[in-house]
Chains A and B, each alone.
Chain A
Amino acid sequence: MVEGRISKIAGPVITAEGMKGAQMYEVVRVGEERLIGEIIELEEDRAVIQVYEETVGMRPGGEVVGSGAPLSVELGPGLLRMIYDGIQRPLEMIKNETGDFIQRGVDVPSLSRTAKWHFTPVVKEGDKVVAGDVLGEVQETEVITHRILVPPDLPGGVIESVAKEGDYTVEDTVAVLKTADGRRELSMLQRWPVRLGRPYREKLDPEEPLISGQRIFDTFFPLTKGGTSAIPGPFGAGKTVSQHQLAKWADADVIVYVGCGERGNEMTEVLEEFPHLEDPKTGKPLMERTVLIANTSNMPVAARDASIYTGATIAEYYRDMGYNVALMADSTSRWAEAMREISGRLEEMPGEEGYPAYLASRLAEFYERAGRVVTLGSDERYGSLAMIGAVSPPGGDFSEPVTQNTLRITKVFWALDASLADRRHFPSINWLRSYSLYTDAVEPWWSRNISPQWKEFRVKAMAMLQKEAELKEIVQLVGADALPDRERLVLEAARMIREDFLQQNAFHDVDTYCSPKKQFAMLKLMIEFYDRADEAVSKGVPAKDIAEMSVIDEIARLKYVPETEYEAKIEEINNKLQEELMALVEKYSER
């Protein structure tokens, strides 16, 4: 082990001498309290270390001890339902040790060493296995079966022995493997360095949408399983609520939620709320499929940098078992700022707006860990990891480096808009600025599972919103009265799409989740409304009369109609629409 001495302390960054032989990114223990740190720069025998805990009181001359290993996370049964800090220490355990406030120097294992898990072997003696093969299974929570895999960094071999079905701790040996390099005892616990992506056999193109039950996402700007998206917006525009909605309702198997430099109360909200919310797919509490990583803004800044990687590694681990995983990072700007802060302390040459020059490559490396893959192992498992990164641009200005560099990588852009939030249009996603490059990729899925007309209606609705924006400019100049009736009808129909389709109330029991079927039915109704009304207008009915039809109010309330009743309601609305339009056409044709 390398042992050195502290020579300089400046905030979270310390310098140690006598560190010859230490590795880049090696974890070290610093000072009497053995605080955890990571080497981020080496020069001869001098190492610069970022410390994951508060450094107040540390003195030059203090001991620095290397661990010989890079920053790693523990992987195994027991991850789900946990809330960790940025370097994977369980916050619940820290609370038991130090009380309601986090003190430093706490050393607790990430996974419980005493909890027993019911292990069921899948392999038997004499089986040949390769890295990534399933050794056995553990029912980790009611919804997730944890597959114990041969670690990806092991060569293949022959099973010499395997544990009988029964209860074991994560450290108990569950299988012994005979490899070319000798005998290896395998437990349910694995370690993996956080900055290194876990290997897979092959990356595939995404094809299935990640359904979130949010109309503007699913219908207009879809994300895929294994896709990446960025959600930038100024404060108060609803980033966190959108992220929470995705964490709640996205149809992924496992959710990893990273609260990176955000508010303590928001993490508490998730902790209080998730155990009581049901997954619409399984009916089980959402917490059963969720791992939380919380590094609130006032926790040490270096651990904030690590929290993103910790999250990504845990997410990849579940992906490797063959699950669809979604990772939410709120917010990546705080991560970038942590990089900037550390870089500043290192006195590195700053790039744009003081961010380090490697900002772009770090962001790219992170998002590239997403994707749909064929996992390691001989049984053709498919897994995916989707990433959704919130970005908090200063002043809501999207031209800043973090937003711009993120947009160069992610395929979906959900642009939050403060002016929409001001009028309580939520989710306040600007429909004209946002985009998704996956619309073509998911079209076959919608066409197969919902309706072949999905694309057609979606394009029509988008065109209508675009047209509305153009017309509004004219209205600004000359007033609405100057528009011909057909264009006024476009305004009315676009308003309907905006208010009655795009707006969605996250806090309403029914409206918080809208199934793809209902989404399509609603959109179809609105487009058909426009088509029919347009026909009526061409027969002489004034747009004003159409806007006053009472059926419009019923369309507006459709989003609050439960999943089991909306079909009947739509039929009723259709009939009523027919009647009211007929009446209007008759009235005006008589003249």
Chain B
Amino acid sequence: MAVQMKEYTSTTEVAGPLMIVEGVEGAGYGELVDIKLSNGEKRRGQVLEIAGERAVVQVFEGTKGIDTRDTKVRFTGETIKLPVSREMTGRIFDGTGRPIDKKPEILPEKFLDIHGAPMNPTGREYPREFIQTGISTIDGMNTLVRGQKLPIFSGSGLPHNELAAQIARQARVLGEEEEFSVVFAAMGITFEEASFFMKDFERTGALEKVTAFLNLANDPAIERIITPRLALTTAEYYAFDLGMHVLVILTDMTNYCEALREIAAARGEVPGRRGYPGYMYTDLSTIYERAGRIAGKKGTITQMPILSMPDDDITHPIPDLTGYITEGQFVLSRELHRRGIYPPVDVLPSLSRLMKGGIGPGRTREDHANVSDQLYSAYAEGRDLRNLVAIVGEEALTDRDKRFLEFAERFEKEFVTQDRDEDRSIERTLEIGWRLLSILPERELKRISSDYIKKYHPNYKEGAKEGSSEEREGQAEE
């Protein structure tokens, strides 16, 4: 061990976020490095490559001020570990895990490797528990389940933060009161954005259940590489050691990927698409795959990463690679936002891959899958017709087409649109869905089994006037 504790002053090169130390003996790949600057400041880094006696180290807090003469480097012989404890809930940390809320240090119960380990597929349990978020476009059309990883694809200027906060606020599993917790990791977002979340958590009294890791826009970019890993390590501890249900919000993954690119560029690696490293898929997967549930354990990790699509382009490598790993996506639309629709979730490109397991009798309602399918195909058709109308005018449409057009309009106004504090029950969401579907001729409802039509279609509901039945539902929720 004595060899490992040796301090080196043999830094030969500093470039971007990297420094190169020569003459190193016995340092291991990936291990944690303590760096002491000539002014006494301490920083941390990680070995990225080691060839003979030459180590390439990435410095999390940036290389500003590091010199090649007096800077002392110590290889700790350990990988980066995070001290975890139950006391972390309600606390705020910086992007490297140091408390910044002026409260005392954490007394660790355990030290965990922040890189985690892949979950064994045979140890997993397929997620099936419906989470009601109270948002129709999610509950009705792209259901979230416990243990899922479902990102929000957004763009700059869109209300993804409001939506994420609303989900964090309203999300619950019906008929259960269990210990839940939110782990919030901010990567390169502005102070205002972070403050919005913190205030929202405070306003709703959720703050004591939140663990926050904040790397803000003016914090070192390289720190962002470990921030999400700290958050997920904490989440794994909460979920699988303490048995809590954890919702992890990671924002903004685009900034994370930028940091990844910065390191790759500094190392002179062969760039992949748009300059992002070729291993970005693998790297992202080591973050996103840390969601799920384990058979026989009570806790779960549900992940909701937020990323802003550069130029609203869903084919950009960041959303693209994310979509290939996550179990679906919510896509926000600038067009809907411009028309004043909140939440501006464009349901057509949105998807929840785990929806089918989380809905149906006993979970939501028997007609849920059918209704959602039908809403999808009707809305898609309505949207197509809207394009057609732009060319040929509404007069050229048949009566049937006009109804689809009306459906699409009202779908956006009544189903998609809701208040920022509106918490709709799943029954209410389906009710609205049925009301909208009744605009269409009944024979067009091909995706719905005729039994459900007889049971739930407003036309068949005896005596029940639409308005009154809704009011009843609405009150029942309170």
User: Cβ of A340 and Cβ of B278 under 8 Å apart?
Assistant: yes
Chain A residues positioned under 8 Å from B329 (CB to CB): 236
Q: Which of these binds chain A: B5-13, B113-121, B212-220, B418-426?
A: B113-121
Chain A residues positioned under 8 Å from B79 (CB to CB): 56-57
A-B contacts at CB below 8 angstroms, number = 224
Chain B residues positioned under 8 Å from A101 (CB to CB): 116-120, 123
Chain B residues positioned under 8 Å from A94 (CB to CB): 120
Could you show 20 A-B contacts with beta carbons less than 8 Å apart?
A: A9-B29, A10-B29, A11-B279, A54-B115, A55-B29, A59-B28, A60-B53, A100-B119, A100-B297, A102-B117, A234-B323, A261-B285, A267-B124, A296-B118, A298-B286, A344-B269, A394-B273, A421-B351, A476-B388, A479-B392
User: Cβ of B369 and Cβ of A422 under 8 Å apart?
Assistant: no
What sequence of 0s and 1s flags, for each residue 29-60 of chain B, a beta carbon within 8 Å of any chain A beta carbon? 11100000000000000001111110000000
Q: Does B173 contact A (CB under 8 A)?
A: no
With A57-B30, A479-B397 as contacts: A297 and B325 at CB distance below 8 Å: yes
- How many B residues face the partner with a CB closer than 8 A? 84
User: Cβ of B51 and Cβ of A556 under 8 Å apart?
Assistant: no
User: Cβ of B292 and Cβ of A499 under 8 Å apart?
Assistant: no
Residue of A nearest to B321 (CB): A394
Chain B residues positioned under 8 Å from A591 (CB to CB): none
User: Cβ of A395 and Cβ of B392 under 8 Å apart?
Assistant: no
Quick one: which of A358-397 are within 8 Å of B by CB?
392, 394-397
Chain B residues positioned under 8 Å from A418 (CB to CB): 349
Q: Bound complex: CA of A8 vs CA of B323, how far in Å?
A: 34
Closest 4 pairs (CB-CB, A-B):
A395-B315, A479-B396, A423-B380, A297-B285
Residue of A nearest to B79 (CB): A56
Interface centre among B126, B286, B294, B357 (most CB of A within 10 A): B126
With A101-B120, A354-B278 as contacts: A396 and B315 at CB distance below 8 Å: yes
Q: Bound complex: CA of A424 vs CA of B398, how far in Å?
A: 24
Q: Does B438 contact A (CB under 8 A)?
A: no
What sequence of 0s and 1s flags, for each residue 92-110 of chain A, a beta carbon within 8 Å of any chain B beta carbon? 1011001111110000000
User: Cβ of B323 and Cβ of A236 under 8 Å apart?
Assistant: yes
20 additional A-B pairs beyond A91-B120, A95-B120, beta carbons within 8 Å, are A8-B52, A56-B30, A56-B115, A61-B26, A101-B120, A236-B349, A261-B281, A265-B147, A265-B354, A267-B124, A268-B125, A268-B126, A347-B270, A354-B273, A423-B376, A424-B380, A424-B447, A479-B396, A481-B398, A560-B449
Residue of A nearest to B322 (CB): A235
Please pick, from A15, A54, A269, A297, the residue contacting B126 in the complex, using a CB distance under 8 A.
A269
User: Cβ of A422 and Cβ of B278 under 8 Å apart?
Assistant: no
Chain B residues positioned under 8 Å from A423 (CB to CB): 348, 376-377, 380-381
With A272-B126, A334-B281, A481-B398 as contacts: A60 and B323 at CB distance below 8 Å: no
User: Cβ of A83 and Cβ of B126 under 8 Å apart?
Assistant: no
Residue of A nearest to B27 (CB): A59
Chain B residues positioned under 8 Å from A235 (CB to CB): 320, 323-324
Residue of B nearest to A55 (CB): B29
Q: Does A402 contact B (CB under 8 A)?
A: no
Q: Does A478 contact B (CB under 8 A)?
A: yes
User: Cβ of A298 and Cβ of B391 under 8 Å apart?
Assistant: no
Q: Bound complex: CA of A114 vs CA of B336, how far in Å?
A: 63
Residue of B nearest to A13 (CB): B49
Tell me, rounded to whole Å, the shortest Cβ–Cβ distance linking A165 to chain B. Answer: 34
Quick one: which of A239-273 are within 8 Å of B by CB?
261, 263-265, 267-269, 271-272
Residue of B nearest to A396 (CB): B315
Quick one: which of B286-320 are within 8 Å of A by CB?
286, 289-290, 292, 294-295, 297, 314-317, 320
User: Cβ of B273 and Cβ of A476 under 8 Å apart?
Assistant: no
Residue numbers of A with Cβ under 8 A of B are 7-11, 15, 54-61, 83, 91-92, 94-95, 98-103, 234-236, 261, 263-265, 267-269, 271-272, 294, 296-299, 301, 334, 337-338, 340-341, 344, 347, 350, 353-354, 392, 394-397, 418, 421-425, 475-482, 499, 507, 544, 550, 553, 556-557, 560
Q: Bound complex: CA of A347 vs CA of B329, how far in Å?
A: 35
What sequence of 0s and 1s flags, for each residue 243-271 of chain B, a beta carbon within 8 Å of any chain A beta carbon? 00000000000000000000000000111
Q: Bound complex: CA of A58 vs CA of B240, how far in Å?
A: 28
User: Cβ of B119 and Cβ of A236 under 8 Å apart?
Assistant: no
Chain B residues positioned under 8 Å from A9 (CB to CB): 28-29, 49-51
User: Cβ of A354 and Cβ of B124 under 8 Å apart?
Assistant: no
Q: Bound complex: CA of A91 vs CA of B401, how far in Å?
A: 54
User: Cβ of B118 and Cβ of A100 under 8 Å apart?
Assistant: no
Chain B residues positioned under 8 Å from A272 (CB to CB): 125-126
User: Cβ of A56 and Cβ of B29 under 8 Å apart?
Assistant: yes
User: Cβ of A297 and Cβ of B289 under 8 Å apart?
Assistant: yes
Interface centre among A301, A422, A480 (most CB of B within 10 A): A422
Chain A residues positioned under 8 Å from B48 (CB to CB): 10
Q: Does B356 contact A (CB under 8 A)?
A: yes
Chain B residues positioned under 8 Å from A479 (CB to CB): 388, 392, 396-397
Q: Bound complex: CA of A425 vs CA of B447, how far in Å?
A: 11
User: Cβ of B122 and Cβ of A58 under 8 Å apart?
Assistant: no
User: Cβ of A422 and Cβ of B324 under 8 Å apart?
Assistant: no
Q: Bound complex: CA of A54 vs CA of B28, how far in Å?
A: 13
Chain A residues positioned under 8 Å from B349 (CB to CB): 236, 418, 422
Chain A residues positioned under 8 Å from B450 (CB to CB): 557
Tell me, rounded to whole Å, the shortest Cβ–Cβ distance linking B118 to chain A. Answer: 5
Chain B residues positioned under 8 Å from A99 (CB to CB): 120, 123
Q: Bound complex: CA of A493 vs CA of B281, how far in Å?
A: 44
Interface centre among B27, B28, B292, B321 (most CB of A within 10 A): B28
Q: Bound complex: CA of A482 vs CA of B392, how far in Å?
A: 11
Chain B residues positioned under 8 Å from A7 (CB to CB): 51-52
Chain A residues positioned under 8 Å from B358 (CB to CB): none
Please pick, from A264, A297, A396, the residue contacting B282 in the complex, using a CB distance under 8 A.
A297
User: Cβ of B281 and Cβ of A8 under 8 Å apart?
Assistant: no
Q: Bound complex: CA of A394 vs CA of B315, how far in Å?
A: 7
With A236-B351, A394-B320, A507-B369 as contacts: A353 and B327 at CB distance below 8 Å: no
Q: Bound complex: CA of A396 vs CA of B313, how far in Å?
A: 12
User: Cβ of B398 and Cβ of A480 under 8 Å apart?
Assistant: yes
Interface centre among B122, B273, B449 (most CB of A within 10 A): B122
Q: Does B127 contact A (CB under 8 A)?
A: yes
With A235-B320, A264-B124 as contacts: A422 and B348 at CB distance below 8 Å: yes
User: Cβ of A271 and Cβ of B51 under 8 Å apart?
Assistant: no
Residue of A nearest to B376 (CB): A424
Chain A residues positioned under 8 Å from B27 (CB to CB): 59
User: Cβ of A478 and Cβ of B354 under 8 Å apart?
Assistant: no
Q: Bound complex: CA of A269 vs CA of B118, how far in Å?
A: 17
Chain A residues positioned under 8 Å from B392 (CB to CB): 477-479
